[in-house]
Amino acid sequence: MHAIDYAVITLYLAGVIGVGVYFGRRQTRTDEYFVGDRRMGAGHLGLSVVATDVGGGFSIGLGGLGFLMGISGSWLLFTGLVGAWISAVVMVPRVKALGDLNGWTTFPEFLEHRFDGRVRLVAAVLSGLGYAAFVGAQILAGATLASAAFHVDFQVALWVMAAVVVIYTALGGLQAVVYTDTVQWVILLAGLLGVALPLAWIEVGGLEGLRQAVPETHVSFTNLDALETVGWFVTILPIWFVGMTLYQRIYAARDVRTAKRAWYLAGLLEYPLMAFAGAGLGLMARALYPEIPAEQAETALPTLLRNVMPVGAAGLVIAAYFSAIMSTADSCLLASTGNVVEDLYKRHVRPDAPDRRILGLSRWLTLAIGLASVSVAVLVPRVLDAVLLSYTFMVSGLFVPTLAALFWKRATPNGALAAALAGGIVGVGLELFPAADPVGQPLLLAFPASLAALVAVSFWRRQQDNQGQPSRGRDRI
């Protein structure tokens, strides 16, 4: 890349960090730090939701899918459209109303309201660890982008990216994240749709040149493995119901209508816009750089951006990718920190801690969790694998109890606790020991195990209640 591109990247990232410093100095309450003072609009929140959900992990991973399997890789983000729109209808109105009424800042608080503190504790641990792993996936995405775009050593890129992400996150809060998300995703989409796609299309010679350069299956929408597709849906769709980052944005909206509009906007931005842009560019990278080995497919997109984009534009779009990665990492770090501070420390250690002390503790914990999450990036070499691993960790134990909290009045606290433990143990166990998984998709076994535990224990508890033992469960939310 040209020196101008490096200058653009440096100035852009410095500006983003400056926004984080600005809001960080203004914040005096944890409500501002975690949920943006509950006054945000649909446009900013919609862009922030898609930035957090897609981020760098899926952006880089989607380009790799486009390189390996063609335009069919775009179906990965169709799960985002489905998840966003379903949750906007069945979950957002209930959670927003209750969150405003009770002043919530975390997802486990919702589960405690419906069940009890034990369920909140388990949810906080699963969510906190899962989001810490997700931060590692974002750092891995940033290092992959930097090493391919700048030809620097991968380990150096990994640690530099980690340092930037952690410092920015520790300084900023949700307000900084949401407002920078708006700017960076407008730039990213404009760069991809308005510059990168047209130039890459010309470079490959249009549709005829593309068909000649890639396998025929790569220009088909049916080049899919059925089990892998099912795995995408059962892994990604549930995150719209259990994602702590999403609950924070629901609480941050001005009202229910604003939150629902943000979710509808986010779904459309994921599919078709980002889905076809990412997979399409990965497909064209396959045509232009067929020598890239399959195991390095996720370097195809940054390689294309570096070589195809004009001077200045390449730096701006790559900087926007970096910012998207930082934004997702920032949001996930805030989520993990929120679980530790609000659901563990304030709930069980210091319920009377003053707000300023909590705010300071939150920033230090953000630093510690961010550094620890680098281990995920070191241990899991593929970006998409790291993303799906962290998703599995969260949803395996939390999805079924959340659905029960929303839709099944007869679910009991003991049933929800059993469901969280059974699903979490099965899902994480099969992820860590894949040889024991007969179907190759841990969640296909974790969800039934979680549901069976919920139903069995809830009915057993109800029978105990009928014999005179009072239930601790709540019949409504």
- Helix runs in 70-196, H state only: 75-90, 92-102, 108-114, 117-150, 154-171, 174-191
pLDDT at 472 over 50: no
Structure confidence at residue 57 as a pLDDT band (50, 70, 90)? low
**Is the CB of residue 11 less than 8 Å from the CB of residue 17?**
no
In the block, tokens 């709540």 appear at: 474
pLDDT tens per residue across span 206-259: 999 999 999 999 999 999 988 888 888 988 899 899 999 999 999 999 999 999
SS in 3 state form for 250-316? HHHECCHHHHHHHHHHHHHHHHHHHHHHHHHHHHHHHHHCCCCCHHHHHHHHHHHHHHHCCCCHHHH
Q: Is residue 65 part of a domain?
A: yes
Closest CA relative to residue 92, chosen from 243, 234, 233 = 243
**Rounded to whole angstroms, how far apart are CA atoms 309 and 318?**
10
pLDDT tens per residue across span 267-323: 999 999 999 999 999 999 999 999 999 988 988 988 898 888 888 777 877 776 777
pLDDT computed for residue 195 by the predictor:
85
Q: Most distant CA pair in the chain: distance in Å?
A: 77
Whichever domain contains 47, its CATH number is 1.20.1730.10
How does the average pLDDT of the chain come out, rounded? Answer: 86
Q: Is residue 262 part of a domain?
A: yes
For the residues 197-214, what does the mean pLDDT come to? 95
Q: Is residue 134 part of a domain?
A: yes
Most confident among 19-28, 134-143, 203-212, 229-238 (mean pLDDT): 203-212
27-36, 64-73, 88-97, 344-353: segment of lowest average pLDDT: 27-36
Closest CA relative to residue 282, chosen from 70, 57, 77, 51 = 70
pLDDT at 116 over 90: yes
DSSP β-bridge partners for residue 40 = 253
**Rounded to whole angstroms, how far apart are CA atoms 222 and 69?**
10
pLDDT at 339 over 90: yes
Q: Is residue 37 part of a domain?
A: yes
For the residues 348-355, what does the mean pLDDT come to? 88
CA distance to 28, 243, 279, 340, 384, per residue, from 344 (Å): 21, 18, 40, 5, 30
pLDDT computed for residue 387 by the predictor:
65
For the residues 121-145, what does the mean pLDDT come to? 84
Q: Is residue 195 part of a domain?
A: yes
**Rounded to whole angstroms, how far apart are CA atoms 110 and 104?**
8
pLDDT computed for residue 383 by the predictor:
59
For the residues 110-121, what does the mean pLDDT come to? 96
Q: Is residue 394 part of a domain?
A: no
The answer to whether the Cα torsion of 366, 367, 368, 371 is positive or negative is positive
Total domains present in the chain: 1
Structure token pair of residue 191:
């760069």
DSSP 107: S
Query: 402 or 428: whose pLDDT is higher?
Result: 402
pLDDT computed for residue 364 by the predictor:
86
- The domain of 319 spans 3-384
**Rounded to whole angstroms, how far apart are CA atoms 116 and 114?**
7
Q: Is residue 216 part of a domain?
A: yes
pLDDT tens per residue across span 174-196: 777 787 778 778 877 888 888 88
Query: 57 or 469: whose pLDDT is higher?
Result: 57
pLDDT tens per residue across span 12-21: 778 777 776 7
Query: 3-state DSSP call for residue 40?
Result: strand
pLDDT computed for residue 277 by the predictor:
92
**Rounded to whole angstroms, how far apart are CA atoms 52 and 30?**
20
Q: Is residue 450 part of a domain?
A: no
Percentage above 90 pLDDT, the chain: 47
**Rounded to whole angstroms, how far apart are CA atoms 137 and 391?**
11
Residue 247 is which amino acid?
A: Y
DSSP β-bridge partners for residue 253 = 40
